[in-house]
Structure 1
Amino acid sequence: MRKFGIIGVGHVGVTIAYTLVTKGIADELVLIDTNEGKSVAEQLDLEDAQARLDTTTKIKIQDYKELKDADIVFMTAGKIDAAKETGNRWAEFEYTTASVKNVAPQLKASGFNGIVIDTTNPCDAITQYLQQSSGLSTQQVFGTGTFLDTARMQRVVSEQFDANSKNVAGYTLGEHGDSQFVAWSGVQVNSHPLVEFAKQQGKELDYSALEEEIRKGGWAVYQGKGYTSYGIATCAVKLAQAVLSDAQLECPVSCYSEEFDTYIGQPAVIGKHGIEFVNKIQLTADEQAKFKNSAETIKEKFATI
């Protein structure tokens, strides 16, 4: 039986729930929110949909005890309006740390011993705080981190160079925030290094312009509809499926770095134990300096908890 929990049934949480139910990924689903009426409403709406689906998911709500035998719990609580006012994910920090203080003891008391996938912002700091507060291992708790930012990089590069985004390889690394950066030295299009591919097309590379467009991608979505949901929910579900199927999926997520003693977006292999191992990749000296700067940015702000 494949059982999931979602803590925080806002735009992201409910999109994850809808995906799990309509794709038949979840046999059981537990929805928990500070607003009980929201959980009730989403439960009923998803149950109505199931009369027209080929699969059935048992949906329960508002009971942490039900998480004891869950395979995966998604932490998706947030306060997007706080970020709206400042344009900065750290604006949610006070609210989301308070959410972790509320959630972690109840998650721990439930006896849950599965995998936690965090989407809550600021993602790196909150994932680390949740790991420390829950008592779960760094292997069991990780965040979506720069998995989404990497997808945005793939989209931007594919649009610039007339390629399918699925055929763009490489990573956005570091903080899921302003100090993130693209490791351009490893970016490839159709298995060709980006520099070589751009030359073939007779196009100039402006890394600064590309990176700015990538960084602002999330805010462009947010400004248009008031929140982001599809991209991040898709990332979270893909990571969950990698855990369930022991896929050994290599991708950039927010996980613990022994080198910098912080959670940060870096390549890791995802399998049945969560983080199977961090995959060290070759970076240029400049990219390594940016990675270190990003780690220090996260640590400095995490220290304010």
Structure 2
Amino acid sequence: MPVRKQQKVAIVGAGRVGTALAYALLIKGPAREITLANRTSERAQAEAMDLSHGLSYVSPTRVAGGGYEMCDNADVVVLTAGAAQKEGETRLDLVRKNAEITKKIIPEVLSRSPSPILIVVTNPVDVLTYVALKESGLPASRVIGSGTVLDTARFSYSLGRHFEVDTRNVHAYIVGEHGDSEVPLWSRANIAGVPVDEYGRLRGMDVGPEFRRKMADEVRTAAYHIIERKEATYWGIGLAVTRIIEAILKNQHSVLTVSALVRDYYGISDVCLSLPSVVGQNGIEAEVTAKLADEEVEKLRDSASVIQDSLRSIGYSGREYHRAAASG
């Protein structure tokens, strides 16, 4: 399948996350056009002007800012607008106010780009991905949440630092909610194909239960520590979402832990959460299924329950997912 020709990315929200994403996109170069749409159009115009002044040093790219007209005929529309997570808040504390913002944005976007790939970044991302899916009416494959792509990168970083290996050679995933109930898949984690437990033993390094608890806590609480020290996270998520967009615009068929609608995965259905998925030009092209440890399955079901409860609190009940044991 050919690579998209237009390669326009529209970012809704010119706050810290939106501008960090625009900056990362500009440097990485997967898009030929980057636009920023913001409620205060002057802010978006100023950010676009600032970014444009560095165009001599990157690949040829058009950068513009304004209102919702910036979403015209976009290949990919990224939703970053919403209330930011404050110190002491969980991502799920944001659900009601950001769900209302998302519901207002969707028709504005679709009136200008009738069939884009939507990427939801605003938190709580799994809940808002479901809201965007239901409100847009787009195929499930074209509504993607940034999910645990950043959490997975944090996991690989922490393991790489512990074992003193290049993070790019660590293959380990975080699934479930992008939040406190996220699930590290220790049963699938490996370094250059060697399971983490075996690699640790070969190196004479700790891989016991306390090590696993510490690594999982480090990943799960990373955002809280950053927010406590500098009010917000944005550089990491900017790079993570750029990776998703690169997979789409370059049709890379990359395996990424994006959030998307789940249909009968270990008995979980009708909720958006993160699982390893193949991402390409058409959005989500396939789900990568793997046998998980029993403990991981139970934690994943619990994570789905957290998201489902949050959806019910804002009137998106959906179907109950089944907690009965599932084969596979």
1:214 to 216, 219, 239: 219
- 1:47-79 CA distance string (max 9 Å, x none): 2222x3353333333343442421111111132
- 1:146 counterpart = 2:155: no
Q: Which residue of 1 aligns with 2:178?
A: 176
Kept in 2: contact 1:70–1:112 (CA 8 A): no
- 1:142-197 CA distance string (max 9 Å, x none): 11101111111111111111111111112111000000010101101232111111
Q: Map of 1:257-268 to 2, 5 A cutoff?
A: 257-259=262-264, 260-268=269-277
Secondary structure of the 2:275 match is strand
- 1:22 counterpart = 2:24: no
> Taking structure 1 as reference, are residues 204 and 288 closer, same or farther at Cα in structure 2, changes over 3 Å only?
same
Aligned counterparts of 2:218 and 2:59: Cα–Cα separation in 1: 40
Kept in 2: contact 1:73–1:117 (CA 8 A): yes
> Taking structure 1 as reference, are residues 201 and 8 closer, same or farther at Cα in structure 2, changes over 3 Å only?
same
* One-letter amino acid of the counterpart of residue 143, structure 1: G
* One-letter amino acid of the counterpart of residue 131, structure 1: L
Aligned counterparts of 2:185 and 2:294: Cα–Cα separation in 1: 11
Q: Which residue of 2 aligns with 1:58?
A: 62
Secondary structure of the 2:54 match is helix
Q: Which residue of 2 aligns with 1:41?
A: 46
Aligned counterparts of 1:48 and 1:111: Cα–Cα separation in 2: 28
Aligned counterparts of 1:60 and 1:231: Cα–Cα separation in 2: 23
- 1:235 counterpart = 2:240: yes
Aligned counterparts of 1:55 and 1:204: Cα–Cα separation in 2: 45
Q: Which residue of 1 aligns with 2:252?
A: 247
* One-letter amino acid of the counterpart of residue 213, structure 1: E
- 1:127 counterpart = 2:133: no
Kept in 2: contact 1:40–1:61 (CA 8 A): yes
Runs of 4+ off more than 4 Å: none
Kept in 1: contact 2:35–2:48 (CA 8 A): no
The TM-score with structure 2 as length reference comes to 0.88
Kept in 2: contact 1:7–1:31 (CA 8 A): yes
Q: Equivalent pairs: percent with the same residue?
A: 29
Aligned counterparts of 1:92 and 1:197: Cα–Cα separation in 2: 40
Equivalenced residue count is 302
1:273 to 282, 289, 296: 282
TM-superposed CA distance for 1:8, in Å, is 0.7
* One-letter amino acid of the counterpart of residue 276, structure 2: P
The TM-score with structure 1 as length reference comes to 0.94
Secondary structure of the 1:133 match is helix
Aligned counterparts of 2:180 and 2:124: Cα–Cα separation in 1: 11
Kept in 1: contact 2:277–2:287 (CA 8 A): yes
Kept in 1: contact 2:21–2:238 (CA 8 A): yes
- 1:163 counterpart = 2:165: yes
TM-superposed CA distance for 1:112, in Å, is 2.7
Q: Which residue of 1 aligns with 2:300?
A: 291
More divergent stretch after superposition (220-229 vs 63-72): 63-72
Secondary structure of the 2:244 match is helix
Kept in 2: contact 1:89–1:177 (CA 8 A): yes
- For structure 2, the residue ranges without an aligned partner over 5 or more in a row are 1-5, 315-328
Aligned counterparts of 1:24 and 1:230: Cα–Cα separation in 2: 16
TM-superposed CA distance for 1:18, in Å, is 1.4
- 1:67 counterpart = 2:87: no
What is the RMSD computed on CA atoms of the aligned residues?
A: 1.5
TM-superposed CA distance for 1:262, in Å, is 0.5
Aligned counterparts of 1:216 and 1:303: Cα–Cα separation in 2: 26
- For structure 1, the residue ranges without an aligned partner over 5 or more in a row are none
Q: Which residue of 1 aligns with 2:203?
A: 201
Kept in 2: contact 1:68–1:113 (CA 8 A): no
* One-letter amino acid of the counterpart of residue 28, structure 1: E
Q: Map of 1:183-194 to 2, 5 A cutoff?
A: 183-194=185-196
Kept in 2: contact 1:107–1:134 (CA 8 A): no
> Taking structure 1 as reference, are residues 24 and 168 closer, same or farther at Cα in structure 2, changes over 3 Å only?
closer
